[in-house]
Amino acid sequence: MDKKKVLFVTSEAAPFVKTGGLGDVAGSLPAAMREKGHDVRVVLPEYSQISSTYKEQLKHIKHFRTNITWRNEYVGVNKLKENGVPFYFIDNKKYFDRSNLYDNPDRHLQFVLFMRGVLEMLPVIDFKPDIIHCNDWQTGLIPLLLNDNYKRYNFYRDIKTVFTIHNLRYQGIFGPEIVSDSLGVDPSHFYGGNIRHDGLVNFMKAGIMYSDKITTVSKTYASEIKTPYFGEGLDYALRMRGDDLEGIVNGISFEENDPANDKDVFANFDVDNFQGKAKNRRALQSFLGLEINPDKRILSIITRLVEQKGIDLIKHVSEEIVNTGLQFVILGTGNPEYEEFFRNLSNRYPDQVAAEIKYDFTLAKRIYASSDFFIMPSKFEPCGLGQLFAMRYGTVPIVRETGGLKDTVEPYDDGKGTGFTFKEYNAHKMLTAIEAAADLASKPRELKALQKSIMKKDFSWDKSAEKYLSLYDDIIAEGEIAEQELKVKESREDKKIKETKKEARELKADIDSTESEKVNINSADSNELEQVKGIGPAYARRIIAYRDKKGEFSDLEELLNVNGIGPSRLESIKSGIEL
């Protein structure tokens, strides 16, 4: 596999700034690819939310100005290395020194500036990637901008693009007025439909329609999003590009999530030293104020408290979940209605339910390490990382069979499998899976065997990185084949043009030759005279008869004495005759 140059473009990346799974991917996948010898670099906006610890390490590389139609804006490029990976930060205080990342009224301008800044920094930093790997709507215009504005320049001509959909629900939708005011691309891209959906500009659709290849974060989700139920209105576009759509499941960093060495958990453990799992459970029970009981097993959920995550299912059978005897731990924030529900549930069952309505990275690690079961009843889930973290820490997942959850959790049955699953988005189907888990909790030896087994599963980034690198190879190879086919086509066309020109020259030469071979009227026979344009058989006979009677012609004007040849006919035949 040839060494590749890749620019990974993202709106967030751990450990600098993270709101979801994209941040984890951007913080881990490039490092995994660099470990395989490839020159992979990452670029993201320089938000005010980035810790001063990292900002103090930034080195200013370059700065320049870019145009967003009529606006002329500053772009700074700063850099640091993290985990062996070069990270570039696009700096503009006007657009990125904000109180939140994505919910600003001018977010279209924020990310148009970011995308143009990314493309224009490449020659400035002297880095020409083979692949620009774009992620979600915040980078969705890059393939279009590259094709429409930049590929006219030699530097950009051979660059290919990949667009990864991490969550199709968030699309970057704006009014049509931004086409002329902000985008700076030909309006035909909007009126032709490639960046338009429901009459509005759609950054996600632009990424889908203009990138060389599209990926999403699991094989099942790649199939699901081509259907109306999961397609969020863009299923038709994904079906159109179906041959270029591939699902590659996410991984997690095994080094950063290693129960044997994790400093954030209560007690370290591994497959061969498993007693630390029970120590973690007891410590979490104490820390959260639950009943401290070695026979009580813990079911947990760490999530954004939003509809997508299946919270309504849990609400519907919450009493039944409590009745299973499992202790229930909730960590997350989101919809105020859900937050209040879990607070009330915890207040009613303080020994059995703990609701931590916040996001706490350290506590999340401790919950993964301390729990026996981890539930993800999502309505849809592009990939999901929670189930992977859970298995890494020996916690058995309970999931709905959708997206990446289906691809990564094998239904447990008769000692085989990795977790408990249910298909329908139905509270009682979910409850049946939870009850099966609770039944396994009553069989400590079998549960322990399952927990050890799932800890051995390899969900590291290594396999996923190989698949992305293979995809890059395919794109580059296809580009080379297309370029070769174009050269062959151009060569054939050039050859055809040359042959046509040659035939034309030969034809002209024949005509010129014919025209230049004049007939001598004093020596030509009847047949030769007939070939002269304007003479024909009748006049040929008359000319021969006149010559036989009067002798050779002394000049061409003497032909006027031949019966029927007047001044106009003489003029028409002069070019073909001589004395």
Domains of the chain: 5-251+463-487 (3.40.50.2000), 275-459 (3.40.50.2000), 519-578 (1.10.150.280)
Q: What is the pLDDT of residue 509?
A: 60
The series of mean pLDDT values per 10 residues for the chain, 579 residues long, is: 92 92 93 96 97 96 96 97 97 95 95 98 97 98 97 95 96 97 96 97 98 97 97 98 96 92 97 96 98 97 95 98 98 96 98 95 96 97 95 98 97 95 98 98 97 96 95 90 70 75 68 64 86 84 86 87 84 85
Which residues have a Cβ under 8 Å from the Cβ of 289 and sit 6 or more positions away?
350, 354
Lookup: tokens for 463:
């396999």
Q: What is the pLDDT of residue 510?
A: 58
Q: How far apart are CA 312 and CA 305, in angstroms?
A: 10
Q: How far apart are CA 415 and CA 455, in angstroms?
A: 15
Peptide bond into 15 cis (omega under 30): yes
Which residues have a Cβ under 8 Å from the Cβ of 367 and sit 6 or more positions away?
284, 300, 302, 329, 331
Radius of gyration of the chain (CA): 38
Tell me phi and psi for residue 545, to 5 degrees: -65, -45
Q: What is the pLDDT of residue 31?
A: 95
Q: What is the pLDDT of residue 1?
A: 65
Continuous segment of H or E residues that includes residue 536: helix 536-550
Sheet holding 396-400, edge to edge: 353-356, 327-331, 298-302, 373-376, 396-400, 420-422
CB neighbour burial string for 85-97, b if at least 16 within 10 angstroms, e if fewer = bbbbbbbbeebbe
Q: What is the pLDDT of residue 138?
A: 98
